[in-house]
Amino acid sequence: RNARLEIAATIAKAERIETAVADDFQAHFVSAMGLPHQSDPFPNLFSVVAPPTAKMLESNDSPKRRRRRTSRADA
């Protein structure tokens, strides 16, 4: 019980907790979001879990940007 009170008192004094201290943290984080990992091969991964199915995109399936609608006053 005392440990919880001590932790609560310490947390109340904390202004921030830095979790991403590495300069390239964002790059590591983004690389790890996909399965499989973007740069680390993890050669034994798919012996434990099934790989995701690959999706084939046809040329007409590419995402298209929408044009912003403009009013006549803008033209």
Per-domain residue ranges of the chain? 1-40
Report the distance separating Cα 56 and Cα 65, nearest Å: 20
Question: Given a cut of 60, is residue 4 above it in pLDDT?
Answer: yes
Q: For 20-37, write each residue's pLDDT tens digit.
A: 788 888 888 888 888 778
Residue with tokens 């009013």: 71
Question: Given a cut of 90, is residue 1 above it in pLDDT?
Answer: no
Range in 28-32, 51-55, 70-74 with the lowest mean pLDDT: 70-74
**Residue 17 token pair:** 């907790």
pTM above 0.75, yes or no: no
